[in-house]
Structure 1
Amino acid sequence: MKKLLNSIILGVTLLLIGQASLAQKVSKLNETELMLHNMQGKIYGWMTEWKVPGCAISIVKDGQVLWSVGLGQRNTSTKQFVTSQTLFPIASCSKSFTAAAMAILVDEGKVDWNKPVKHYLPDFELSDTEAEHTVMVKDLLSHRTGLPRHDFVWLYSSLDRKAIFKSLKYLPLSKKPYEQYQYNNLMYMVAGVLIEKVSGMTWEKFVEERLLKPLKMTQTVLTYPELFKSDDYAKSYRKQEEQLVEAGFGSNVDAIGPAGAIKSNADDMSHWLLMQLQQGKYENLQIVSSKNLKENHTPLAVVYPTEAKYPELGFNTYGMGWNQNVYRGAQRLQHNGSIEGYRSQMTLFPNNNIGIFVTTNSSAADYYFVNVVTNNLADMLFSFPEIDWHSRMKQEKADAIFAEEKKMKEQNANRVLFASMSHNIDSYAGIYEHPAYGILQIYKSDKGLLAKYHNQTSELIHFHYDYFLGKDLLENIPIQFITNFKGNIDIVQIEFPNAGIIQFRRK
């Protein structure tokens, strides 16, 4: 009888303990749900202020998906809503996929991080022969090859990957390899070409078979034609005279796919974050070895120019597909993505088992909005005292506008008023060519000179003498016409951003 009584007492005690434990779990869950509900209200407010029609967010923590949600509109004309399955181009967030794909080939002994690219791609050519033979595989993925961006080679052009790869030898380097961090999309494209050469599969096929399928990222696609087959993708928008207009899909990003062509959603990206946090494993399947995924996460270059704007942030470094720094004392890995009117950001806190992904369909806010959302979510998850990141980013944007206006004033101060062109306007018209940058057509209209470049037409605003400033695609880019010894205009010289001066010669 005594044993029975003790058993009953023990059973009741365990039941009460179990109920108390369950109550604690429910209480904790409700607290998290309440925090996310409150945060969602704030995000809607920020979306209105930053002119962001729609966004999608996923959060993972301790091996679980904490939040995967769509907010706002994916199409402002049809008023269709964003869901957690709405596809967004994630642009340069794709770089981490290319780095992970290369890590798999390193795992298999098919690639060595420290071998020259030339070893795998004999037809890899740069304008600097020494650099061409020096650059290693990991350098392609860490922006330290010496080649500046040269994005106008591919942006809005009709060139395919093969043609762009062949044109690399005509692009000037601005630094020696390893001399300085210089963000470069073209070298990620080369990494994709290397993956194809070594694996026998295109970059798209390799990523699909070796990453997307085992990660169950079933809705993620790699090209625009695939995106357009979906009935749930976000259109993107840009600001035009205080209004949002569609940005379109003409960037040609698929040609440099390994640098920025992935289109995904909040649900699928939560799987990507989990794999990164779980040392290359997803649902007990080891997709990438812990050793070589760690190589992706290891700093290789100091991001230049070096700056830590706020006391909560450390200096930025870059590994392979990831920026590394410190956020309020916590190690942070992060990468942004920008194409057409889309802006995305993915963030890992590896020591805290937290991952955050934010994507939007508006360039009006640039990266300010995704930074506000990501940082506030991080503060919430860490239970940090709240920082007014929204006001900080508003001030950053105002400072950027002021700096641009100051630059334009300084530029205009150097203008020689009423200094006419040195030739009759008809003398400037013609077809000019660069072996990598392609065809530049200059022709006369009732507005003056126009430039047709990569199927985009830009007005040229006369500055003084033979100097002009571009509009639209060539917005505020300095353009100079150069006269040869015979007195004829035979060169158009354009100072492209993050590339330097490029000369187009008359055909």
Structure 2
Amino acid sequence: MTKRSITSTAFLIAGLIAGPIPAGMSAEATEAEINKVLPRAELQTWMEEARVPGVSISVIKDFKIHWSRAFGVADAATSRPVTPETRFQAASISKPVMAVAAAVLADRGQLDLDADVGQSLHSWELPRLVKSGSQPITPRMLLSHTSGLDDGLGFPGYEPSEARPDALAILTGRPPAKTPAIVARQAPMTKSRYSGGGSVVMQVLLMDATGKPFPELMQSLVLKPLGMGKSIYQQPLSTKLNADTALAHDNKGRRFNVPWKVYPALAAAGLWSTPTDLALLVSSLQKTKAGQDIKPFTKASASELLSPVGIGSFSAGFNVFQQGEGWYFAHLGANQGYRSFLIGHIAKGYGLVVMTNSDGGFPLIERICRRIQIAYDWDVLETNGEFRFGPQRGLGCLPT
């Protein structure tokens, strides 16, 4: 059997694996409907063009998961199929999931999103910019990339055999950290500048505020209450979980020399998850915003997560923007060998999560997202078909 036919067979097998329907999932979508939206042969062509071995997709409709399907292979070397239960590195989608924990603690009175971080941050002293005067840096600023920590991180990851820094070593730039110390480069709330370092500050702050290790607090505050049973903040990943995990591939669809890199900056890049789990989070947030009682959210915490702070397009966690006539919340993720994206409409109860195991994943995600937008009549189409997120583009989901 040729390599092409092995890949095609694995693609077709994986495409038929639906997996169990989790709580909150609608069983409305039929295989015929899914195939009409995303014909198998066309999707396979897209994957081959993007050099993406495996992709997993969850579509949200009417505030529920309408369908979840997986296509292709988790490992190009063995042709092991991807299933809806297969974990991927969520990369920077780790950040808004972490922000949910901050919003939950704020709602419980255990964290003030608008207070000086020094009130809760005891393990490390956040450097201040002298010219910022008396204006404190707050958790809301860290979560919305408006704190003045203009580091642009993006963490590089570590080979499994390499020594890895803890969170404090990352913040101080102390070896074995590969990145420089986190410092303030501009006054708070003057510009929106992406700061992965700010998410690591939040990781330490949340641990200081609760007295719990970060993986444990994320499990108890967010993942378990939402039923995200395949999701875990764990770096490196336990070997007993490897069988249900997609391996990392380069932009040619080739395996790296290691299964994946390790990302000790847990809050910024350390989450393993599935589209179904992340879609549960998105739909639960949408339901809460619409007035339902979905734990651990409240209307107050949902508002914190979905309201831009006034500088830039971020809320305290998500990128919030207008596209066509609709308002959406979204986030993307990019670790070595993985690309992912989630998006949800703030009011109308539809959305999408896509995860891939290749550096070439974003062009494929663009195509899938636009297809879903058109097939399910999202209101991005209500302005003469223009997509108005950032500069005008031919495809409508990912920012430039």
Q: Where do residues 24-423 of structure 1 align in structure 2 (5 Å cutoff)?
A: 34-41=32-39, 42-122=42-122, 123-126=124-127, 128-129=129-130, 134-149=136-151, 151=153, 155-156=157-158, 158-167=164-173, 170-226=181-237, 228-230=239-241, 231-239=243-251, 244-246=254-256, 248=258, 251-253=261-263, 255-279=264-288, 285-300=294-309, 302-303=311-312, 317-365=313-361, 367-382=362-377, 392=394
Question: In the aligned structure 1, how far is the partner of 2:386 from the partner of 2:298?
Answer: 39
Q: Is the 8 A contact 2:328 2:344 kept in 1?
A: yes
What is the DSSP-based 3-state SS (H/G/I as helix, E as strand, rest coil) of the residue aligned with 1:214? helix
What is the DSSP-based 3-state SS (H/G/I as helix, E as strand, rest coil) of the residue aligned with 1:332? strand
Shift of 1:37: 0.8
Distance verdict in 2 for CA 1:111–1:197, change over 3 Å: same
Shift of 1:124: 2.0
What is the DSSP-based 3-state SS (H/G/I as helix, E as strand, rest coil) of the residue aligned with 2:125? coil
Give ranges in structure 2 of 5+ residues lacking alignment. Answer: 1-26, 175-179, 388-392
Shift of 1:246: 2.0
Greater CA radius of gyration, 1 or 2?
Answer: 1
Shift of 1:247: 6.6
Write out the 4+ residue segments of structure 1 that deviate beyond 3 Å after TM superposition.
Answer: 32-35, 129-133, 150-157, 166-174, 224-228, 247-252, 280-285, 383-389, 391-394
Give ranges in structure 1 of 5+ residues lacking alignment. Answer: 1-27, 304-316, 401-507
Higher strand content, 1 or 2: 1
Distance verdict in 2 for CA 1:147–1:106, change over 3 Å: same
Q: Is the 8 A contact 1:146 1:175 kept in 2?
A: yes
Question: In the aligned structure 2, how far is the partner of 1:302 from the partner of 1:372?
Answer: 30
Shift of 1:170: 4.8
Q: Residue type matched to 1:354 in 2? A: Y
Question: In the aligned structure 1, how far is the partner of 2:167 from the partner of 2:291?
Answer: 31
Identity of aligned residues (%): 22
Distance verdict in 2 for CA 1:81–1:154, change over 3 Å: closer
Distance verdict in 2 for CA 1:127–1:170, change over 3 Å: farther
What is the DSSP-based 3-state SS (H/G/I as helix, E as strand, rest coil) of the residue aligned with 1:213? helix
Question: Could you give the per-residue CA deviations for residues 352-386 of structure 1, whole angstroms, max 9, x where no partner exists?
Answer: 11121000001124x22212212221221116599
Question: Could you give the per-residue CA deviations for residues 439-488 of structure 1, whole angstroms, max 9, x where no partner exists?
Answer: xxxxxxxxxxxxxxxxxxxxxxxxxxxxxxxxxxxxxxxxxxxxxxxxxx
Which one has more relative contact order, counting CA pairs under 8 Å at least 6 apart?
Answer: 2
Q: Residue type matched to 2:125 in 1? A: F
Shift of 1:99: 1.0
Q: Is the 8 A contact 1:91 1:338 kept in 2?
A: yes
Q: Residue type matched to 1:331 in 2? A: W
Q: Is the 8 A contact 1:280 1:287 kept in 2?
A: no
Q: Residue type matched to 1:149 in 2? A: D
Q: Residue type matched to 1:246 in 2? A: F
